[in-house]
Structure 1
Amino acid sequence: MGKKNVVSIEDRIPTLKQERKKKANRRLIFYLSLFFILIAVIVYLQSPLSDIKTINASGNSIVEESKVIDISGIQTGTNIWTVDKTDAREKLQENPVIQEAEVNRDLPWTVDIKVTEVNFVGSVKRDNEQIPISGNGKLLQDTDQTSIGGNVPFLIDFTEEDHLQQMAKELGELPAAILNLISEIHWQPTDNNQDKITLFMNDGYTVDSTIRHFADNMRVYPSIVQQLESASDEGIIHIGEGVYFEKFDSEHNAEISDNNSDNST
């Protein structure tokens, strides 16, 4: 039988004491660290270090950044943890220009406001003022908002609200690339067609159309223009029941091939 190594308990005591001391030190360091972290948090919450220093607004192109911040009710110098994000969001969404709003804390002292504005499709003239109109036909006549960004048409002679709202909804369904080509839309109802409209385009053409199915009909406008020689040919592009170009100096109308049934999507 081989000889066994026997270690007495007296020989192991120093090692055990050392390990216990290391564990105690680690535990002490952990609790001290936790204590100082809690102290730091309390100091941060109770001191000007947690006061809002910066408020950022994004997503806005119509409402100015300063106005977005003002509407939210959030102010610099107030404690960032006292900000009621739900209340600020609801205040922002009460503005007819702002469709959605999101408010977030960006620690240590910044608040970020992100808004989504309504889609504006044109403007109308009321009481010698140019008033923006949204895609759902809502006018901003009850606000001080009298300008909009982008290149959207001016709606003229729309004296009946039903036709104005219907026109706005059709414009809201129109691709932006085509919407931006329209300079003016004149409502010119007749006894036979209350939906009759005339469009003056930014590329020089004039279009005769109707409010009914306007968005679907106008989707073919780019392909129609490509078939014409130039805007110098004075005449009217008719887009409605049929599609053709009527020259002012000719007794005959130029038929335009309608590929729209394939291009209307």
Structure 2
Amino acid sequence: MSKEDDNNINNIKEKLKKKRQNTDYVGYTAKKPEKEKTEGNLEKPPASKKVSKKAETEYDELSLKIEHYKDFEEKSTAVKNKKTPGKNRKQNVKSAGNKKSGGKKSADSSTKKKKSKGQKTKKPREKFKFKRVHLYIGIVIFLVLLLGVLLWYVFSSASDVKEINFEGNSLVTETELEERIGFSTGDKMFSISAGKAEDNVELLPVIEEVSVERDWPNNVTVNVNEYKAIAYINSEDLYFPVLENSRIQRGYPSAPRNAPIIYNFEGEEFDALVAALNEIEVDILESISEIYFRPTDNSMRRIHVFMNDGQEIVADYETFSEKMNYYIGIRQEIGDETGGIIDMEVGTSYLPYDSADAREIKDNIYNEPSQVGYIEDINEALDGVRSALGEIGNAAEE
């Protein structure tokens, strides 16, 4: 192109720039100003200077190609980039990356804004903090529940006595104990008196100790510790236990077991024999079958003993326990023979049945002992009291 053409093109560009400065751009289409809209039909644009045909053709082509005034700046930058290709490429890459990242960020921010508009923001929940008020509330709730359970238990059948268990009784029957304790099944657990029941049961001479305990929720246990039966006495074909405390359990007859039957013992002799039996070993005591009180003029404390193995023994009831504890050794020395009597009154000797001493002892076994002097005196005194009371009664009737 010639210099004239270049000058014409430059003039056209300047005119276009001035024209664009006076117009508003929306997109890539130019809008005329309001003055031009209102006065466009009235005023005609000023006539342009005459230009050559070549300039008009070039002007039309350029007007079609030009879209925005910024394109001229991009072309100028492209020319510069040709001169410095390495640096400009790097800058272009960076700008492109920034545009992409900026686009993504803007897109993300727009989506976040839309979500924030559509959804309400949730406030973070505060963590539960335990305070003293919560402790008081928990205690009150617990007490209310406990009170409710207690009221239900008291006024319902859940508090009734369902079962009474008796333990340790052998001489006393369960029916006797049930009558003594003062309560039965069906009574309320909280209404029974354990102390009163224990006092009533302890009145029985056979009872040494007793304990009445509630086994919640519905049971009661009566634990009894009885005095040991160390002998039995015979009365009208009935046997009554003699306890280790020298008391006779009358009214509770039972078959003799693990203890001897004693005959004709009264007063001091009875107490002395019971004391001796308490000191004898259990296995030896259980091997004794019968004991008779057989005093003589020469031996006022003589007793005659029959063993379960068939052996007979005579002894003094005061020294009986000491010598009787050696019975097992003495029996082993004698062997299996039972043809005599073991004499433990003074020393310890074996008397064959054909000896004079053995025959004398055998003759006195079934003879009733004569009463001791103090017993006769007591009986005479009692007879005098009876007669005096009889006379008083007769005088009162008259």
Question: TM over 0.5, yes or no?
Answer: yes
Where 1:122 maps in the other structure, the secondary structure is strand
Q: CA deviation at 1:29?
A: 4.5
Structure 1 Cα separation of the partners of residues 357 and 176 of structure 2: 56
Q: Which amino acid letter does the alignment assign opposite residue 243 of structure 1?
A: T
Match of 1:161? 267
The CA deviation at 1:101 is 0.4
Q: Is 1:115 the equivalent of 2:217?
A: no
How far did 1:66 drift? Answer: 3.0
Q: Is the 8 A contact 1:187 1:197 kept in 2?
A: yes
After superposition, where does 1:1-265 map in structure 2 within 5 Å? 15=126, 18-20=127-129, 28-141=137-250, 144-147=251-254, 150-158=257-265, 160-230=266-336, 232-249=337-354
Q: TM-score, normalised by structure 1?
A: 0.80
Q: For each residue in 1:127-149, what CA deviation from the matched residue of structure 2 results, as whole angstroms up to 9, or x when unmatched? A: 443222112321223xx201166
Whole-angstrom CA distance in 2 between matches of 1:149 and 1:165: 20
Residue 77 of structure 1 deviates from its aligned partner by 0.8
Task: Compare 65-74 and 112-121 and name the one that shifted more.
Answer: 65-74
Greater C-alpha Rg? 2
**2-structure distance, mates of 1:101, 1:200:** 36
Q: Distance in 2 between matches of 1:131 and 1:64?
A: 14
Separation in 2, partners of 1:161, 1:129:
21
Paired with 1:62 and 1:134, the residues of 2 have a C-alpha distance of 10
Higher helix share: 2
Once the 2 structures are TM-superposed, how far is the Cα of residue 112 of structure 1 from its aligned partner?
0.6
For normalisation by structure 2, the TM-score amounts to: 0.55
Letter of the 2:326 counterpart: V
How many residue pairs are counted as aligned between the two chains? Answer: 236
State the Cα distance separating 1:183 from its structure 2 match: 0.2
Structure 1 residues 25 and 168: alpha-carbon distance in aligned structure 2, compared to 1, 3 A threshold: same
Cα offset for 1:21? Answer: 7.2
Once residues 81 and 100 of structure 1 are traced to their aligned partners in structure 2, the CA distance between those partners, rounded to angstroms, is 23
In terms of mean alpha carbon deviation, does 32-41 or 214-223 score higher? 32-41
Counterparts of 2:131 and 2:245, CA distance in 1: 71
Contact 2:238 2:254 in 1 (8 A): no
Contact 1:207 1:238 in 2 (8 A): yes
Greater Cα shift, 182-191 or 123-132: 123-132
What are the ranges of 5 or more consecutive residues in structure 1 without an aligned counterpart?
A: 1-12, 254-265
Note the C-alpha offset of 1:157.
2.5
Partner Cα separation in structure 2 for residue 149 and residue 101 of structure 1? 24
Over residues 4-47 of structure 1, what are the superposed CA-to-partner deviations in whole Å (9 max), with x where a residue is unaligned? xxxxxxxxx963xx434787666544432331122101211222
SS class of match (1:82): coil
Q: Which moved more, 1:72-81 or 1:51-60?
A: 72-81
Instruction: Point out where structure 2 has 5 or more consecutive residues left out of the alignment.
Output: 1-123, 359-398
Answer whether contact 1:57 1:69 (CA < 8 A) is retained. no
Report if the CA contact (8 A) 1:61-1:149 is conserved.
no
State the Cα RMSD in Å.
2.6
1:66-100 Cα offsets, whole Å, 9 max, x none, are 32222211211111111111110011110111111
Are the counterparts in 2 of residues 138 and 165 from structure 1 also a CA contact under 8 Å? no
Q: For the structure 1 residues 131 and 21, does the alpha-carbon distance in structure 2 shift closer, same or farther, using more than 3 Å as the test?
A: closer
Q: 1:21 to 1:97 in 2, by over 3 A?
A: closer
Distance change (3 Å), C-alpha of 1:28 and 1:172: same
Q: Matches of 2:177 and 2:186 in 1, distance apart?
A: 18
- Tell me how far 1:203 sits from its aligned partner: 1.2
Distance in structure 1 (CA, Å) of the matches to 2:208 and 2:342? 36
The DSSP-based 3-state class of the residue aligned with 1:81 is coil
Partners of 1:62 and 1:149 within 8 A in 2? no
Secondary structure of the 2:128 match is helix
CA distance in 1, matches of 2:142, 2:269: 70
Q: Which has the higher contact order (CA 8 A, sep 6+)?
A: 1
Q: Displacement of 1:237 after TM fit? A: 1.0
Q: Is the 8 A contact 1:118 1:134 kept in 2?
A: yes
**Secondary structure of the equivalent of 1:32?**
helix
The one-letter code of the counterpart of 1:191 is D
